Amino acid sequence: MKRRSFTAAMVGGAVLAAVAFVSAQQGPGGGQGQGGQRPAGGQGGQQQQTPPTAGMNLEIVEGTATYTVSEQFVGIDFPSDAMGSSSKVAGTLGIAKDGSVVPGSKLTVDLSALKSDQDMRDNFAKTRTLETDKFPMAEFVPTKVEGLPLMIPTNGQNGFKLTGNMTIHGVTKEVVFQGIATYGRDNTVSGIAKTSFGFDTFGLAVPKIGRLASVDNKINLSLQFKFKRS
């Protein structure tokens, strides 16, 4: 009996000592560490978002320029839209901390890569209207941007207006793009921007092919873009 009582007393004492040691380590906060504070990084496993920054430098990684023109064919009572596009878009856009455009910003579109659903239309556009053998590129040099927040976020979206000088067919004119930008957590800015102008704005010949009766003197131009922030 004495041996069993002595062994039980030792076990009980060891348990009490362990409980006292753990309680002293936990402190009064009940397992929250010293001073009742949670360990660093223990905020439910949530990662902090990258804070907004003023200004940004953007390099285009994906882009498609698309034109749309209303045309009327002989023997058809309603107009239809001719569409052609080029995915050879390149360039950079810099936004300063004060919201102004950084000098040297420029976007280009390879017009010789324009493609629609009709080879005859494409051939006329390249050889007669755009003369891509002489003027293969369309260039846009932005001069003013409006609507973007000074502190550029990493999520959400907003509308914007981008003004600049566009050169097509050797002629330079000021145009204004209206668009929507979407900000990504992966440091991308994507969206679409649109503008319109007449054939005569850039001295372009109106297409005259096959059974085409008339073409509206208005070119709708849209740019789908995806920029990478750096």
Per-residue pLDDT reduced to its tens digit, 98-126: 999 999 999 999 999 999 998 988 998 89
Tell me, yes or no, whether 195 lies in a domain. yes
Residues 29, 71, single domain; the answer is no
Residues 80, 121, single domain; the answer is yes
Residues 29, 143, single domain; the answer is no
Residue 16 pLDDT > 70 = no
Tell me, yes or no, whether 179 lies in a domain. yes
Tell me, yes or no, whether 218 lies in a domain. yes
Over the stretch 80-97, which tens digit does the pLDDT of each residue have? 788 999 999 999 999 999
Tell me, yes or no, whether 125 lies in a domain. yes
Residues 174, 100, single domain; the answer is yes
Residue 188 to residue 125: CA distance in whole angstroms: 33
Residue 60 to residue 128: CA distance in whole angstroms: 30
Tell me, yes or no, whether 118 lies in a domain. yes
Tell me, what CATH number does 113's domain have?
2.40.128.110
Residues 19, 84, single domain; the answer is no
Q: Please give the average per-residue pLDDT across 142-170, as a whole number.
A: 95
Residues 113, 213, single domain; the answer is yes
Residues 31, 107, single domain; the answer is no
Query: Among residues 190, 166, 188, 189, which one has the least CA distance to residue 177?
Result: 166
Residue 212 pLDDT > 80 = no
The pTM of the whole model exceeds 0.95: no
Residues 110, 165, single domain; the answer is yes
Q: Is residue 30 helix, strand or coil?
A: coil
Residues 74, 25, single domain; the answer is no
Residue 164 to residue 60: CA distance in whole angstroms: 17
Cβ distance 216 to 71 under 8 Å? yes
Tell me, yes or no, whether 45 lies in a domain. no
Domain count, the chain: 2
Tell me, yes or no, whether 19 lies in a domain. yes
Average pLDDT, the chain: 81
Tell me, yes or no, whether 136 lies in a domain. yes
Residues 24, 58, single domain; the answer is no
Q: By residue range, what is the domain housing residue 29?
A: 2-36
Over the stretch 70-82, which tens digit does the pLDDT of each residue have? 877 665 655 678 8
Tokens describing residue 227: 């920029």
Question: Of the ranges 33-42, 47-56, 159-168, 207-216, which one carries the lowest mean pLDDT score?
Answer: 33-42
Residues 32, 65, single domain; the answer is no
Residues 68, 21, single domain; the answer is no
